[in-house]
Amino acid sequence: VKPLEPNLRVPGPTPVPPQVLAAMARPMINHRGPQFRALLDEILAGLRPVFGVKEDVLIFPSSGTGGLEAAIVNTLSPGDRVLSVSIGYFGDRFARIASDFGADVMHLDFPWGQAAEPEMVAQRLRLDPSIRAVLITHNETSTGVANDLEAIARVVRDTPALLIVDAVSSLAALPLPADAWGVDVVVTASQKALMTPPGLALVSMNDRAWLAHQTSRMPRHYWDFAAAKKAQDKGQTPYTPALSLLYGLAESLSMIQAEGLPAVYARHHAVGEFTRRGVQRLGLSLLADPVHASDSVTAVRLPDGMDGKALLSLMADEHHVVLAGGQGSLDGKLFRIGHLGWVRLPDVESVLSGLRTVLPGLGYRLDG
Ligand SMILES: Cc1ncc(COP(=O)(O)O)c(C=O)c1O
């Protein structure tokens, strides 16, 4: 008997479609030969519309955090003043990476569950014209909140500061036309809405960001974007590429292209709305400010006194639904449902029906 595939509803790694898994089983090729060049060209062409950029996206074997570090060390110098706009756990991490490399980090923090207010970002930039970069998370996976990145980009692009965006849990789920919005650097990873296993970090850089790169003095070697670009321009990567993951990414990008980006975003929005409505119908409440609730992940407050670990275990053991807990200060206070990448309404229906069965056993009264 084939074991039931668990319904993996953590916000990454996300389920990988069978055709992507099959593509990854292909044999190795010479990474300095014409076949690799064709593969890389196909991937770069597929990535351009997803990032909304005209420049090639840089690809590294790494998780998303490596991409965030790479973005910082390739655009900044020690002592540079940086504004960290954080709305949660991953925003705080981005700030720590910058301070670890010697940036002078100013903090603009918002309560977890809220989005950043563009006017407050504008105010901080007006007060301190020496700020060289703004770091922000597009979609805060720990709280299920999506920032209004278009509005934030509008206030940053009128200043000399670079806008560096963590789009790990948003790219290919939420619209992010980087060139049109004036986002200078966008970082994402393969294991979320790109429907590929973990292991690739992807970074876009616009002209302003490349200009900053020329004078940036933070230490780097493996991450050096000039070396990566030079190699990619020749149809190669500076070091051995994660070939199998690239086979998978080419396949997932062709799925995205076949569905069409507007349809991909509309599907995420429909699934997001469906998740929020379903959770609220169970009488549970969301952490996110409803105006800024994310279409890729939903954070649900645990009812008072409920043991979150017991809830997650019951959902996994009895319903084959794998959910995530809270992170940082939200540990034990909520659970999260990932709905990004290869996801459709029935995937969330089974989460909701599992919750409906499991919650009463944990002392929660379902109303209605
Ligand atoms: C918004 C955000 N940033 C950064 C990361 C870190 O990515 P990784 O675990 O791939 O290093 C994650 C992972 O969940 C994320 O959701």
Q: Whose CA is nearest to atom 7 of ligand 1?
A: 64
Tell me how far the alpha carbon of residue 175 lies from the centroid of ligand 1, in angstroms.
18
The whole-model pTM stands at 0.98
What pLDDT, on the 0 to 100 scale, is given for residue 146? 98
Q: Is 114 in the pocket of ligand 1 (CB under 6 A)?
A: no
147-163 confidence digits (pLDDT tens): 999 999 999 999 999 99
**Scanning the structure block, which residue is given the tokens 């003095």?**
217
DSSP-based three-state secondary structure for 75: coil
Arithmetic mean of pLDDT over the chain: 97
Task: Report the sign of the C-alpha dihedral through residues 203, 206, 208, 214, in that order.
Answer: positive
Strands 297-301 and 334-338: antiparallel
**The 185-189 sheet, strands edge to edge:** 58-61, 200-205, 185-189, 162-166, 133-137, 81-86, 104-109
**Scanning the structure block, which residue is given the tokens 């919005």?**
181
Query: Given ligand 1 and candidates 90, 294, 337, which is best to mutate, with the most ligand atoms within 8 Å of its CB?
Result: 90
Q: Whose CA is nearest to atom 12 of ligand 1?
A: 168
Q: Is 63 in the pocket of ligand 1 (CB under 6 A)?
A: yes
What pLDDT, on the 0 to 100 scale, is given for residue 16? 98
Atom of ligand 1 nearest to the CA of 12: 14
306-361 confidence digits (pLDDT tens): 999 999 999 999 999 999 999 999 999 999 999 999 999 999 999 999 999 999 99
Q: Is 189 in the pocket of ligand 1 (CB under 6 A)?
A: yes
Confidence of residue 368 (pLDDT cuts 50, 70, 90): low
What's the average model confidence in pLDDT over 211-240? 98
Tell me how far the alpha carbon of residue 332 lies from the centroid of ligand 1, in angstroms.
20
What's the average model confidence in pLDDT over 169-184? 98
Confidence of residue 3 (pLDDT cuts 50, 70, 90): low
Q: Is 99 in the pocket of ligand 1 (CB under 6 A)?
A: no
Confidence of residue 143 (pLDDT cuts 50, 70, 90): very high
Angle at 27 between CA 23 and CA 33, to 5 degrees: 105
What's the average model confidence in pLDDT over 19-44? 98
Q: Is 257 in the pocket of ligand 1 (CB under 6 A)?
A: no
What pLDDT, on the 0 to 100 scale, is given for residue 294? 98
Tell me how far the alpha carbon of residue 250 lies from the centroid of ligand 1, in angstroms.
21
What pLDDT, on the 0 to 100 scale, is given for residue 4? 64
CA distance 252 to 195: 6
* Whether 147 contacts 117, CB under 8 Å: no
- Give me the percent of the chain exceeding a pLDDT of 70: 99
CA distance 48 to 56: 7
What pLDDT, on the 0 to 100 scale, is given for residue 5? 84
What's the average model confidence in pLDDT over 177-195? 98
Atom of ligand 1 nearest to the CA of 140: 1
For the chain, the straight-line distance linking the first and the last C-alpha, in angstroms and rounded, comes to 38
Question: Is pLDDT at 127 greater than 90 in this prediction?
Answer: yes
Q: E strands, 31-172, where?
A: 58-61, 81-86, 104-109, 133-137, 139-140, 145-146, 162-166
DSSP 303-320: PTT--HHHHHHHHHHHH-
Confidence of residue 367 (pLDDT cuts 50, 70, 90): confident
CA distance 291 to 99: 32
251-295 confidence digits (pLDDT tens): 999 999 999 999 999 999 999 999 999 999 999 999 999 999 999
* Whether 296 contacts 272, CB under 8 Å: yes
Angle at 154 between CA 120 and CA 67, to 5 degrees: 90
Q: Is 137 in the pocket of ligand 1 (CB under 6 A)?
A: yes
Q: Give the 3-state secondary structure of 285-306.
A: CECCCHHHECCCEEEEECCCCC
